[in-house]
């Protein structure tokens, strides 16, 4: 098994060396489906999604699927996000993780975006026709993670992404993959790498891209012409993280996380955070993330401070089954920040 650890780590380090400086600000705005970069889960959002090395359970299907294998038996999560509070954008998410076999965990996640209502406009009615429509953005993922002797875990997610309006739709398939390595006398050092949103291109198609124009010939009738939209890529991302936990006698533990994010279509990001856990009952977390090579007047929305907490109680005395509430808040340069709240059941 030591050889397996070595091969996995060598492969991870080779991947890092190839893409560690892949962030390309010249390609900003060229990717689509940026909702794939919005974290709907409160536990990891409270650390500004920088716990690549230590993330576990359903949350891991968003950031590093290798952590999915670190659940006791079954985990169910329901989450709600008020994105850019005041902008009338809401996100709902549902996730399920279930042990299969001795060391494997199968997971399913669904994320849906409620973007509100928009006025339906046309060339003849640029101020609106009186009708409204609601865009539909959602993604569904199926994940599998496997743990080797409680030291190395690997995982992969296959996801379907869809964006649609009243008369046009785009969709794509993507893959996430990740690895986590745990070491130390009390498993207090962790290292993780994840590669996210690698997949097919998206292209809008549908009746909304058609137009009726007069026939250029001698006969008077209209022809229907379809405009071909430009295809766009998914927002691929590489995360490299580490964490270290200090055990506080008679109090709990204090964990430190650090993370580097390489974005294929925007500037790279770096950050760190702290987690104070008082047993399994209560934990506090805070993080800060910044953009590298930032240009004055330009910045990515997903930067700055984040904080959150978790309250967890057993269903009954001495039971391993627990009920938890997670909350997180992230500051934003516009509007009134991002609020995440979730309910989690561990069986």
Burial of 219 (0-12, 13-18, 19+ CB in 10 A): exposed
**C-alpha of 123 from chain center:** 37
Q: Tell me if residue 217 falls in helix, strand or coil.
A: coil
Among positive and negative, which fits the CA dihedral 1, 189, 74, 195? negative
Q: Rounded distance, CA 313 to CA 280, Å? A: 8
Q: Rounded distance, CA 226 to CA 167, Å? A: 13
Tokens of 281: 């009952």
**C-alpha of 99 from chain center:** 22
**C-alpha of 122 from chain center:** 35
Condensed to tens digits (0 to 9), the pLDDT of residues 71-107 reads 989 999 999 999 999 889 999 999 999 999 889 999 9
226: which strand partners? 210
State the pLDDT at residue 207: 87
**Full domain range(s) for residue 321:** 2-346
By the 8 A CB rule, do 287 and 276 touch? no
Tokens of 86: 């005041």
CATH number of the domain at 110, please. Answer: 2.40.160.40
Number of separate domains in the chain: 1
State the pLDDT at residue 30: 78
Tokens of 141: 């993922």
Q: What CA–CA distances, in Å, run from 283 to 25, 74, 251?
A: 37, 21, 11
Q: Which whole number is the average pLDDT over 277-304?
A: 86
Condensed to tens digits (0 to 9), the pLDDT of residues 185-206 reads 888 999 999 999 999 999 999 9
Q: What CA–CA distances, in Å, run from 326 to 147, 177, 178, 302?
A: 26, 25, 24, 20
Tokens of 100: 């299969």
Tokens of 299: 């910045």
Condensed to tens digits (0 to 9), the pLDDT of residues 215-255 reads 887 788 888 888 888 999 999 999 999 999 999 887 889 99
Tokens of 289: 């993330």
Query: Strand 104-114 relative to strand 136-148: parallel, antiparallel, unpaired?
Result: antiparallel
Q: Look at residue 17 and tell me whether its pLDDT is greater than 50.
A: no
Q: Look at residue 55 and tell me whether its pLDDT is greater than 70.
A: yes
Over the chain, what is the mean pLDDT? 89
* Percent of the chain with pLDDT strictly greater than 90: 63
Task: Output b/e per residue, 278-304; b: 16+ Cβ within 10 A.
Answer: eeeeebebbbbbebeeeeeeeebbbbb
């Amino acid at each position: 098994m030591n050889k397996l650890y070595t091969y996995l780590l060598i492969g991870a380090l080779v991947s890092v060396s190839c893409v560690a400086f892949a962030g390309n600000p010249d390609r900003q705005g060229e990717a689509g489906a940026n909702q794939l970069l919005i974290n709907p889960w409160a536990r990891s959002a409270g650390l500004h999604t920088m716990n690549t090395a230590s993330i576990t359970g359903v949350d891991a299907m968003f950031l590093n699927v290798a952590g999915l294998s670190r659940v006791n038996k079954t985990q169910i999560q329901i989450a709600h996000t008020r994105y850019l509070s005041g902008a009338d954008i809401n996100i709902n998410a549902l996730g399920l993780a279930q042990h299969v076999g001795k060391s494997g965990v199968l997971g399913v996640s669904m994320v849906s975006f409620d973007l509100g209502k928009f006025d339906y406009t046309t060339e003849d009615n640029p101020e609106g026709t009186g009708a409204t429509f609601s865009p539909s953005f959602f993604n569904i993922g199926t994940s599998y993670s496997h743990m080797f002797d409680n030291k190395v875990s690997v995982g992969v997610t296959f996801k379907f992404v869809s964006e649609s309006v009243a008369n046009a739709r785009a969709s794509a398939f993507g893959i996430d993959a990740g690895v986590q390595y745990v070491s130390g006398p009390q498993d207090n050092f962790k290292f993780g790498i994840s590669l996210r949103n690698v997949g097919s291109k998206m292209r809008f198609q549908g009746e909304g891209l058609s137009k009726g124009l007069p026939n250029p010939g001698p006969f008077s009738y209209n022809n229907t012409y379809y405009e071909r939209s430009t295809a766009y890529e998914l927002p691929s991302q590489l995360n490299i993280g580490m964490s270290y936990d200090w055990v506080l006698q008679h109090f709990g533990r204090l964990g430190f996380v650090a993370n580097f994010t390489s974005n294929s279509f925007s500037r790279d990001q770096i950050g760190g955070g702290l987690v104070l856990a008082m047993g399994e009952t209560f934990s506090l977390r805070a993080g800060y993330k910044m953009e590298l090579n930032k240009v004055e007047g330009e910045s990515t929305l997903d930067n700055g401070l984040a904080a959150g907490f978790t309250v967890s109680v057993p269903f009954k005395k001495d039971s391993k089954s627990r009920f938890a509430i997670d909350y997180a808040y992230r500051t934003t340069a516009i509007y009134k920040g991002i609020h995440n709240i979730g309910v989690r059941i561990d069986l």
